[in-house]
Chains A and B, each alone.
Chain A
């Protein structure tokens, strides 16, 4: 009995000690994440110009949101860019990982470095780089198309309403493909070699090995990177700003760009906060949906 009490006291003491060790991290996360998110939610029910006193606004910011066509279109642009660039990043990243897995150790290291390089570059630099590449008259892309006799495919890549979203999405996807490749490659090399040896003995080619063995076994990694890509792509601000500043007109004014305009150009911080709350809800719904769609068996090996 005595022993039992002592054990319980020790457990409590140990747990309190453990909890106290967590306090600095908790305070840090609270101050940098929980407080701003809570503050943002509070602000979305107020009007504030950034300097004077805040005034309660009830649901008016949310009512304004549903009447604001520029912001609503911004949601469409953000969703389009997020979905297309995530799909490009995941598909091309997986393909690269599967191809690199077939190469030798030295060439593999070289290719991994080359394809991962864009992920190390700041988005603003990528944005500026592509501004030159995509220039209608002097840009590399149109020059190449012209040299190949494909003048009909030449475009003003950043100035045509039907094209600009695709351009941004493709560049965003290309930028993250190296990141996906690295994670997928790490998952592939962790698979037991005996599986591939057995498959070879059964006469399976690499394409069938990829389809029947690799992809099902690395599905948890694929799900993870898909979530990551969606979250990162939704937040994209810098690449859009560096390449188009939301233009031409409003044709690439994604939600982050719009939020900053509303807050820092119009001084409507409360309304901007309401937009960010709506963005959080939409992103959460899309992530939940994509989790459900990619849900499948997890194999043990």
Chain B
């Protein structure tokens, strides 16, 4: 008979063996070496253990679910590389960051992912993103030269480029002129001041009886973020606030939050519950004339106006509290630091940021960040009119936690908790600037 002590010893040995096996597996899998940055190397030759002539398997996560152009891009990439790579596409959704980090930690990274160049701290700080600078600089900077202006600046951290942009993105307002005409409200083609904006909303509400502004719940944070960029009296103060030198409890910062709360309290559709409105609900309300103004992103505006079926839509700049800026940056692509075939990933991104692919976006009315594209749409310039005013320097970039609060929890936290919600931000600011 197996005695209790022996059974316990046997179980201990088995458990120890299991732990050892798991630990060995982990150490091998976890042996992470930064990917080589030898630009221009052949991708097909780098398949470790792969049979000669076998196509490399790549996984791309490049298509946000609400971006119709990205689906076309997936098809173009699949077609372009069909003889070279065996590509699997993964949907890009609100869990993208978690998906990316989980796969990176498991040493099975996504080979190319869409991400915002201006929000790469979370990857850069943990060495999770591949430095693309050597690839951009290769061949006398051939790839780098395809990007317009200082488009690469948003994805540059400590002089290294970790994400390349494909579209300059900023918010704007689509105004149903039939409703605003009825209310006797005229929006300017140039900058729109916050006070004029609030007066216009009040007039629309009073004259037509509708909640004037439709704002998708995930974009609600744009209101306080843009106010925090534009509320300052001059560029130096704005820059100081973005650098964490001015507290969140400063009267002007509080004014920016108060203004956001007032907007939500009075004018955002459907009133109570505005913080949970889906994009679909906003679209339906805009189409049905239940709202006069829809907040949108410039790269989706052309499609949105077309789908609304409204004959008379005016594109209006996002309201400002003082300085003429608009929050924004760019959508772009990044490569996890531990991808097995960095050259293949770079090759895919080069194609995705080529004029050949991005012309399709331009055809859909979305401005892009590369040269060599043309648009026949007479309204195309409207969707790019505020690109020069984009201000990507924001206080939320001080730390991931501040980003999370300002981008995911505001303005709800301020609306329900008032100034006490700024205490947490203030604590995080002090931690970040230590």
Contacts and interface: CB of A to CB of B under 8 A. Distances in A.
Interface string A51-79: 11000000000000000011000000000
B190 interface: no
B18 A16 contact: no
Nearest to B98: A264
Contact of A12 (B1, B101, B271): B1
A189 interface: no
B285 to A, nearest CB: 7
A248 B272 CA distance: 12
Nearest to A52: B127
Nearest to B288: A138
A265 B102 CA distance: 11
Contacts of B19: 30, 35, 38
Interface stretch (A98-106, A114-122, A155-163): A155-163
B273 A51 contact: no
A77 to B, nearest CB: 14
B278 A131 contact: yes
A158 B270 contact: no
B124 to A, nearest CB: 11
A217 B432 CA distance: 61
Interface stretch (B74-82, B230-238, B247-255, B413-421): B413-421
Given A12-B2, A249-B421, A251-B416, A155 B272 contact: yes
A266 B97 CA distance: 11
Contact of A51 (B104, B277, B278, B413): B104
A157 B284 CA distance: 20
A70 B420 CA distance: 13
B203 interface: no
A265 to B, nearest CB: 6
Contacts of B105: 50-51
A27 interface: yes
Given A50-B128, A51-B126, A267-B125, A136 B270 contact: yes
Contacts of A131: 276, 278
Contacts of A249: 409-410, 412-413, 415-417, 421
B400 interface: yes
A261 B404 contact: yes
Given A19-B2, A131-B278, A159-B274, A250 B400 contact: no
B318 interface: no
Contacts of A160: 272-273
Interface string B9-24: 0110011001101100
B416 A11 contact: no
Given A247-B275, A248-B276, A266-B401, A135 B281 contact: yes
| Interface-centre pick from A16, A49, A244 (highest chain B CB count, 10 A) | A49
Contacts of A250: 409, 413
Interface residues of A, number: 47
A12 B1 CA distance: 4
Contact of A136 (B101, B273, B290, B404): B273
B256 to A, nearest CB: 17
A51 B22 contact: no
Given A16-B2, A30-B14, A137 B285 contact: yes
A158 B274 CA distance: 10
Interface string B252-282: 0000000000000000011111111110010
B122 interface: yes
A257 to B, nearest CB: 11
A16 B10 CA distance: 10
B272 A247 contact: no
A23 interface: yes
| Interface-centre pick from A70, A135, A260 (highest chain B CB count, 10 A) | A135
Given A8-B1, A12-B1, A19 B276 contact: no
B15 A30 contact: yes
A8 B3 CA distance: 12
| Interface-centre pick from B15, B275, B400 (highest chain A CB count, 10 A) | B275
A156 B126 contact: no
Interface in A280-296: none
A26 interface: yes
B122 A135 contact: no
B150 interface: no
B126 A52 contact: yes
B32 interface: yes
Given A51-B127, A264-B98, 20 more contacts: A19-B2, A30-B19, A31-B22, A35-B18, A49-B126, A51-B128, A131-B276, A136-B270, A136-B277, A137-B270, A137-B281, A138-B284, A154-B272, A157-B273, A159-B273, A159-B276, A245-B408, A249-B409, A249-B413, A266-B404
Interface of B: 1-2, 7, 10-11, 14-15, 18-19, 21-22, 32, 94, 97-98, 101-102, 104-105, 122, 125-128, 217, 269-278, 281, 284-285, 290, 337-338, 400-401, 404, 408-410, 412-413, 415-417, 421, 424
11 contacts: A15-B1, A19-B10, A23-B14, A51-B32, A155-B272, A156-B276, A247-B275, A249-B417, A251-B416, A266-B404, A267-B101
* A-B residue pairs, 4 tightest by C-beta: A156-B273, A136-B273, A137-B270, A248-B412
